[in-house]
Amino acid sequence: MHAHRVLIPALVALAATVAAHAQPAPRVAPTSAFSMKQSFAPVVRRAAPAVVNISSKRMVRQQVDPFWELFGLGAPRNRIEGSLGSGVIVRADGVIVTNNHVVEGGTEITVALADRREFPARIMLADARTDLAVLKIDVPPGEKLPTLVIDESPDSQVGDLVLAIGDPFGVGQTVTNGIISALNRTADPNGDAGAYIQTDAAINPGNSGGALVDMDGDLIGVNSFILSRSGTSSGVGFAIPAPVVRRVVETAMNGGRAVVRPWVGARLQTVTPEIARTMGLPRPAGALVADVWPGGAAEQAGLKQGDVVVSVDGGPVVDAAALNYAVGTHRPGETLRVGVRRAGGDQQLTLHAEAPPATPARDERIVTGANPFEGATVVNLSPAVAEEHGLDPFGSKGVLISKIDNGAAQRVGLRPGDLIRAVNGRSIQTVRDLTGAIAVRAAVWQFTIERNGQQVTATVRA
């Protein structure tokens, strides 16, 4: 059997009621192996009131058995699907952070506080790349909700005790404990999918968006997903670190609709044992600069093809994803000290964090008219757009399909992420090229798209 990455919202379940108990005797949080005989209760009392339950309803289109479609029966119909997750209050006026996958596509979002009061919530910002969303509820005038402090300068270490607080399986608020099993875990060593905190605290469906707190009761991460063969906790859970959470919340509070992530301005490759031997490096660690974007942050800092970045602000760079993460958690305009190993000797360079360039201009449009792309949202591919959609800015250029609504584009099988290469023999480099090509009426349309690195040509009748 294989382990699978499992996102952890649960289907809506009945909320459990909690019986009242007598006031417990004063306790202290464990600070040593000996004091493990004591209790986590002081930390829980501080943190738990700021953890909420989040339920979301979304409309999904239910397909029918193709057999019945042969007889014109059983047309597709809409149904309401519910999901359940957790969230953390980070501002006393009702600002809540959770996972994007908990509320994605939700048309009706409800937040239940620890005291069981319920409030409708609206989405301030949803960021699929980090899998974080910021919600807002309207609390009664003058009331301040309990909050969790986002750790400003995390100094977490492997082996530190942590608590995971959330609402697994919809049974009601639950607290589990464990340790930090690893830091800076990356899903793709050559990408920028994030650098997670790994913990063995039990995390189950419904814990998504819940809090991972340290023994000071501060928020050090937002629980996001697990690796499991069964779909339930096997002691390998992952949380989005506090610096990423803080950047997303700051963006939402400043009125931003999308998180602007600084980028390195270079194509990076993780240093493997084979690369380390070839380059004479003492160990396989660091990010190899394979290419540099002209005029980008890396070139301005003096980085060159063949350099190996080994540290950022004094911290080691394990792989390419770790470097992307370290740069991405900074605000545009901030500077970083970058340690570089090159043939001429080790150097310290200064890199200015900056947003990826939006060149060429986006020119984003929704395609209309009698053509195969009707209903598709298209945009010119630039480093900024590539970063937004998780694509390689050094890869293909052209016109990207960013979204598909009902229309011809959906019927012919086009998907978000497709790159339009040609239409009726005309090469497509920009959105303007595309609008010019589809302005000419045609009885038969032939177009070529690039999907997952493969080019596909299709022919459809008008």
**Per-residue pLDDT, 17:** 33
User: Which residue, among 103, 112, 160, has the nearest Cα to 137 in the 3D structure?
Assistant: 112
Residue showing tokens 């970083």: 336
Neighbours of 263 (CB within 10 A): 24
**Per-residue pLDDT, 66:** 55
Neighbours of 155 (CB within 10 A): 8
Q: Extract the tokens encoding 243.
A: 């610096």
**Per-residue pLDDT, 414:** 93
Residues 418, 97: Cα–Cα separation, whole Å: 31
Q: What global pTM score does this model have?
A: 0.76
Secondary structure letter of residue 257 according to DSSP:
S
- Catalytic positions are 101, 131, 208
Q: Which residues contact 153 (CB under 8 A, 6 or more apart)?
A: none
**Per-residue pLDDT, 1:** 44
**Per-residue pLDDT, 398:** 87
Neighbours of 330 (CB within 10 A): 20
Q: What are phi and psi of 253, to 5 degrees?
A: -70, -25
**Per-residue pLDDT, 156:** 86
Residues 15, 13: Cα–Cα separation, whole Å: 6
Residues 42, 28: Cα–Cα separation, whole Å: 6
Residues 232, 94: Cα–Cα separation, whole Å: 31
DSSP string, 36-78: GGS-SHHHHHHHGGGEEEEEEEEEEEEP--HHHHTTT----EE
**Per-residue pLDDT, 11:** 43
Helix (H, G, I), strand (E, B) or coil at 165: strand
Helix (H, G, I), strand (E, B) or coil at 132: strand
Write out the chain's pLDDT in tens, 462 residues: 455 566 655 543 333 333 334 454 555 566 665 555 568 889 999 999 999 999 987 655 555 555 545 555 555 555 555 568 999 999 999 999 999 999 988 888 999 999 999 999 999 999 888 899 999 999 999 999 999 999 877 788 899 999 999 988 878 889 999 999 988 777 655 555 568 899 999 988 888 899 999 998 999 999 998 887 777 778 889 999 999 999 999 999 998 888 888 889 999 999 999 999 988 888 899 999 999 999 999 999 999 999 999 999 988 888 888 898 889 888 888 999 999 998 878 899 999 999 899 888 999 999 999 999 999 999 999 998 988 887 888 877 889 999 998 889 999 999 999 999 999 999 999 999 999 999 998 999 999 999 988 899 999 987
Query: Does residue 393 have a cis bond before it (omega within 30 degrees)?
Result: no
Domains of the chain: 10-16+38-137 (2.40.10.10), 161-253 (2.40.10.10), 266-352 (2.30.42.10), 365-461 (2.30.42.10)
Residues 125, 84: Cα–Cα separation, whole Å: 19
Please state, in angstroms and as integers, the Cα–Cα distance from residue 211 to each residue in 22, 122, 162, 167, 214, following that order.
Answer: 26, 20, 10, 10, 10
Residues 115, 444: Cα–Cα separation, whole Å: 62
Helix (H, G, I), strand (E, B) or coil at 244: helix
Residues in the chain: 462
DSSP string, 227-241: EESSSS--S-EEEEE
